[in-house]
Amino acid sequence: MIETAIRYILINDATVKDITTRCYPVTIPQSPTYPLILYTKITGMRDHHLQGPNGRAHPRMQIESWAKTYTEAKTLAGAIREALDGYSGTASGTVIGSCLIDSERDDYQKEIEVYRVMQDYFIWHEE
């Protein structure tokens, strides 16, 4: 599963691990400790040939860096980008052909006073 592979890459990267190992799918737990990473599959595209599915997919994943300061959020986002952008290999049993960043956006959640950086990646992998 690509979500498990992405989490594995992030929490085992030395630079990311120096900042945080808190990495959650889809939702943040109540009363979280920052900084943290949130990951969500945005789209789940699959490749086909004339006879049907070929066993490869290229979803868009959103990886978010959450922190109490803008600098912390940007630093975590930079570490994530270094770990993921251009990655190819096998992670947690999933063969990843390519992982490429597509976009990056900054945000501030006024209600909870937290900064976040949202990055979108296209990931080509075998299913």
Return the HEC string of 29-44. Answer: CCCCCCCEEEEEEEEC
User: What pLDDT, on the 0 to 100 scale, is given for residue 52?
Assistant: 66
Q: Which stretches of the chain score pLDDT less than 50?
A: none
pTM of the model: 0.91
